[in-house]
């Protein structure tokens, strides 16, 4: 299955929920008026786009209708695709130019964090890069066991310590190993305990101090993994993490299993955090780099 086909299939449930409803609504109108835009906004909100984001999209569509002199209601579907792509575009690419570079992977338990790390490692290995994986979620034994499996599958080097070890110490060992082995990327797992914000904040601050001390000037991405199936809860999680961590990008998992893919728009617009990867399946190559135009095309495919 090709790149676009994977995304299109992954967004099938969302498209059936959002796009099909909008097409049906537009088909029922003979002219473009306020009632049409009110219904459009309501359908977008129902598709987990979020109230403020739906309002912004509709306002932008209104402006383009005026500018372009659009009369046919069904042409709004194409405008919607353009506006969506414009809203999502920018900042999608990872900035990993130093050797080694660092990726901190954060997120609550259960969102697919460990799987994401394994798939990222596999992607980098396919690009010919040497990868070190830091098992810095030392409070959950299952996390290390899962990472071991993914490290074997992806060919990454796993660095771990005993259960309950200091996460920053694991990151230190991983950076040392990366330097010694000439690795290109260090991917760090972290604990997912959002309910205890102070502990998590202190832990991440300590990890960041180790990184800054051991790799001054290194490129660093902080990727927040969110489960698309949680809809607006994903937006709330992103907001909480953003309050105390400098999140550089979002990885949105499980898009293939949910009709709530519209949450991508809410995250991008309300939090101004770029989406960098989307998960559209269970296979090792089903973590796809985010492309705004491809996403909009797949979301609003007829």
In 3D space, the residue among 263, 274, 262, 282 whose CA is nearest the CA of residue 15 turns out to be 262
Instruction: Provide the pLDDT for residue 3.
Output: 57
State mean pLDDT over 85-102.
94
Pairing verdict, β 131-134 and 157-159: parallel
Domain edges within the chain: 3-88, 101-291
DSSP conformation class of 19: I
Q: Residues comprising the binding site for GTP?
A: 107-114, 189-193, 253-256
Strand runs labelled E in 136-259: 157-159, 185-189, 220-227, 249-253
H/E stretch holding 186 reads strand 185-189
Segments in 215-291 forming alpha helices (H): 232-244, 263-271
Distance CA 282, CA 277 (A): 14
Contacts of 182 (CB under 8 A, 6+ apart): 99, 130
- Mean pLDDT, the chain, rounded, equals 90
Distance CA 81, CA 19 (A): 10
State mean pLDDT over 68-93.
94
Instruction: Provide the pLDDT for residue 194.
Output: 61
State mean pLDDT over 22-33.
94
Q: Residues comprising the binding site?
A: 107-114, 189-193, 253-256
Greatest mean pLDDT among 88-102, 195-209, 237-251 lies in: 88-102
On the question of a common fold for 3-88 and 101-291, the answer reads no
Assigned token pair, 170:
């694991």
Q: Considering only the top CATH level, what class is 101-291?
A: alpha beta
Fold assignment, 3-88: 1.20.120
Per-residue pLDDT of 191-234, as tens digits, reads: 876 656 777 778 888 999 999 999 999 999 999 999 988 888 88
Per-residue pLDDT of 36-73, as tens digits, reads: 999 999 999 988 888 999 999 999 999 999 999 999 99
Instruction: Provide the pLDDT for residue 255.
Output: 82
Are 215 and 241 in contact by the 8 Å Cβ rule? The answer is no
């Amino acid at each position: 299955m090709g790149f676009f086909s994977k995304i299109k299939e992954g967004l099938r449930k969302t498209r059936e929920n959002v796009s099909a409803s909008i097409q049906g609504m537009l088909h029922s109108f003979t002219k473009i008026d306020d009632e049409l835009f009110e219904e459009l906004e309501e359908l977008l909100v129902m598709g987990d786009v979020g109230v403020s984001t739906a309002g912004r999209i509709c306002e932008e569509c209104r402006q383009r209708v005026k500018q372009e002199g659009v009369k046919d209601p069904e042409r709004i579907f194409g405008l919607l695709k353009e506006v969506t792509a414009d809203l999502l575009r920018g900042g999608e690419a990872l900035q990993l130019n130093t050797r080694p570079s660092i990726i901190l992977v954060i997120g609550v338990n259960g969102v697919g964090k460990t799987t994401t790390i394994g798939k990222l490692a596999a992607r980098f290995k396919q690009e010919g890069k040497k990868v070190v994986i830091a098992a810095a979620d030392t409070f959950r034994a299952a996390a290390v066991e899962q990472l071991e499996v993914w490290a074997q599958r992806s060919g990454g080097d796993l660095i771990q310590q005993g259960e309950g070890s200091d996460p920053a110490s694991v990151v230190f060992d991983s950076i040392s190993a990366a330097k010694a082995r000439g690795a290109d990327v260090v991917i760090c797992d972290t604990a997912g305990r959002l309910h205890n914000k102070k502990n998590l904040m202190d832990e991440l601050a300590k990890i960041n101090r180790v990184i800054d001390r051991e790799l001054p000037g290194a490129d660093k991405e902080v990727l927040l993994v969110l489960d698309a199936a949680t809809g607006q809860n994903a937006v709330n999680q992103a907001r909480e993490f953003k309050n105390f961590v400098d999140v550089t990008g979002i990885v949105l998992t499980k898009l293939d299993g949910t009709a709530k893919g519209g949450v991508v728009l809410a995250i991008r617009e309300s939090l101004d955090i770029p989406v960098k990867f989307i998960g559209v399946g269970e296979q090792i190559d089903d973590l796809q780099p985010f492309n705004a135009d491809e996403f909009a095309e797949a979301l609003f495919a007829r």
